[in-house]
Structure 1
Amino acid sequence: MKEAIHPNYKKVLFVDAQSGFTFLSGSTLSSSETMKWEDGNEYPVIKVDISSDTHPFYTGRQKFTDVGGRVDRFKKKYNMK
């Protein structure tokens, strides 16, 4: 394998902004915000809009939210009432 071509993975906490679900995973992302995890260590925190806790494929619930008028723009574009 070639030297110095692989990314530097570190443990990061991902927090679902909708449900507050938190999980620890390896990532190349970093953040200045930190949070203490169940093991007592502090890790950088990355906030995500959707995770397996809120995604319709995993939950079985379809939830369509209007974010910034997207639904209205879609309906207007395709002449939907």
Structure 2
Amino acid sequence: MRPEIHPDYRKVVFLDTTTGFKFLSGSTKYSNETIEWEDGNEYPLLKVEISADSHPFYTGKQKLADAGGRVDRFKKKYNLK
């Protein structure tokens, strides 16, 4: 393999904003936010909307998160109860 062509991986914490699930992994992404992890160290924080904790393929069920009352507005628009 050729030297100096691989990206600089560092440890970051991913936060699933739907479920609040957090996990530590390697990434090349940058973030201005940081979070203290379970080991006491600070790591960059990257927020994602879907992870294995919330994706229906991995969970086997749909987790519905009402973001800003969308479900209520939909039901009201179409007279659903």
Same fold (TM over 0.5): yes
Q: Which runs of 5+ in 2 are unaligned?
A: 75-81
Go from structure 1 to structure 2 and tell me whether the alpha carbon gap of 1:65 and 1:24 turns closer, same or farther (over 3 Å shift). Answer: closer
**Match of residue 59 from structure 2:** 59
TM-score, normalising length: structure 2: 0.75
**Match of residue 13 from structure 1:** 13
After TM superposition, which residue ranges in structure 1, 4 or more long, deviate above 3 angstroms?
Answer: 63-67
Identity %: 61
Alignment RMSD (CA, Å):
2.1
Amino acid at match of 1:49: E
Q: Cα deviations across residues 12-53 of structure 1 (Å, max 9, x unaligned)?
A: 000001011000000001101000000000000000010011
**Match of residue 78 from structure 2:** none
TM-score, normalising length: structure 1: 0.75
Q: How many residues align?
A: 69
